[in-house]
Homo-oligomer: A and B are copies of this chain.
Amino acid sequence: MTYCVGMVLDKGLVLMSDTRTNSGVDNISVFRKMFTWAKPGERIISMMTAGNLATTQAVISKLEERTKAPGDRTHSLMGLDTMFQVAAETGKLLRETVKETQESNGARGRGRFTASIILAGQIRGMEPRLFMIYPEGNFIEASFDTPFFQIGETKYGRPIIIRGYDRQMSFEDAVKLLMVSFDSTLKANLSVGLPLDLLVIARDGFERTHEKRIEHSDAYFDAISSSWSDALRNAFHSLPDYSFYQPDEAG
């Protein structure tokens, strides 16, 4: 499985992904799921992938034109005019890749080999944008009402994001929020695992503002994980107590 989150803030974009892939619980590997391309000063584009690993790697390879000799490659993402065009092109490649593998496997391929992609980035002259691309090739864009997207094992870490997200928050607070969300997911589900990849893209920076791989021994992540247990316990005990006898007066 996988867990990836992309967020739009007033200040820019924040992305985090895990790196665990599994084919059964006894076949676990580390694979990067976050891919970033930048032309500093002009554009930065990042993608996070969930789903069938062969599918997502094929899409990324096609975007990078790895079918061509190195000298002939003109990275297609770098030439497109808008983030919308990038989403459409990525969606098209994703749909084609999924369909191809499904069809070449006949009846056994039906409904399999699917993947989803979170796309984030900014091109000069336009706003930072965040998209969710479906295996069918269509996509939606984050909005004021839904300012973040999750893919993969999304449920464990969703309540804290719903409650903690604030469009005006600092990048540092957003990173903290994502770490809590990932920590809750890691604690509940084996199929999501460290290390994590973190990318912060400041509005109008057109570069990697901050990028980090959070490894197993990461001091900050460990601190968050242990402090969050204590903080949650304190939060829990600060709530009004339940009473069997006058429950309606407890509020």
Contacts and interface: CB of A to CB of B under 8 A. Distances in A.
Interface of A: 153, 155-160, 162-164, 171-173, 175-177, 179-180, 184-185, 187-189, 200, 209-210, 212, 218-220, 222-224, 227-229, 231-236, 238-244, 247-251
Contacts of A243: 172
Given A159-B187, A164-B232, A244-B210, A180 B239 contact: yes
A176 B236 contact: yes
B188 A244 contact: no
Q: Which of A163, A179, A210, A233 counts the most B-chain CB atoms under 10 A from its CB?
A: A163
A247 B212 contact: yes
A239 B251 contact: no
B228 A235 contact: yes
Q: Provide the main secondary structure of the chain A interface.
A: helix
Contact of A240 (B160, B184, B220, B249): B220
Give the number of copies in the complex. Answer: 2
14 contacts: A153-B155, A159-B159, A159-B184, A159-B187, A159-B188, A162-B188, A163-B187, A163-B229, A164-B236, A176-B236, A220-B242, A220-B250, A223-B250, A228-B235
A10 to B, nearest CB: 17
Contacts of A187: 159, 162-163
A227 B238 CA distance: 8
Given A159-B184, A159-B187, A233-B163, A176 B220 contact: no
Given A223-B250, A234-B235, A242 B159 contact: no
Contacts of A173: 241-242
Q: Which of A162, A188, A242 counts the most B-chain CB atoms under 10 A from its CB?
A: A242
Contact of A220 (B220, B231, B247): B247
A244 B164 contact: no
Contacts of A235: 228, 231-232, 234-235
Given A159-B156, A164-B232, A235-B232, A172 B242 contact: yes
